[in-house]
Amino acid sequence: MKGIELVFLAVGAIVGACLRYRLSESSLVLGGLSINILVVNVIGSFILGVFSIVSPFLNLDTHYVLFMSVGFCGSLTSMSALALETCNLLDNSYFHLAVLNIIANAFLSLGAVVAGRTLTTMILL
């Protein structure tokens, strides 16, 4: 990895991590389930879906892919926080919430990528 690539990656990661921190510092609870991680995962997935169409459409340089896809979206979304949150639910015998947490994160994040790609394709074409 070249120095400039590392800079693009690092700046994207810093921005994504700061945004995740801001979005998850206040507690969002829905039916006993904390949804902060769900919200950042869905937002990040939507952004990644949009960018996956915009990038080749605009023929963006790979530096911007590193910035947005790997750096920004990679640090905005959080698989490790999802895993920890789910383990905490299991430790407290909230099995139904743990399953709901996994399903909601997986399917809503996937749906957000598809929605971002579809919406962007409709706008650009």
Question: What are 59-101's pLDDT values in tens digits?
Answer: 999 999 999 999 999 999 999 999 999 999 999 999 999 999 9
Concatenate the DSSP letters of all residues of 21-65 into one string. HHHHSS--EETTEE-HHHHHHHHHHHHHHHHHHHHHHTT--HHHH
pLDDT band, very low/low/confident/very high, at 125 (cuts 50, 70, 90): confident
What does pTM read for this prediction?
0.94
Between the alpha carbon of residue 82 and those of residues 23, 60, 96, the distances in Å are 15, 31, 15
3 vs 18: CA distance, rounded Å: 22
pLDDT at site 24 = 87
Per the structure, the complete domain to which residue 36 belongs is given by: 3-124
Q: Cα angle vertex 9, ends 11, 120, to 5°?
A: 95
Taking alpha carbons only, the member of 66, 105, 108 closest to residue 89 is 105
The per-residue pLDDT of the chain, averaged, comes to 95
pLDDT at site 5 = 94
50 vs 119: CA distance, rounded Å: 8
**Number of domains within the chain:** 1
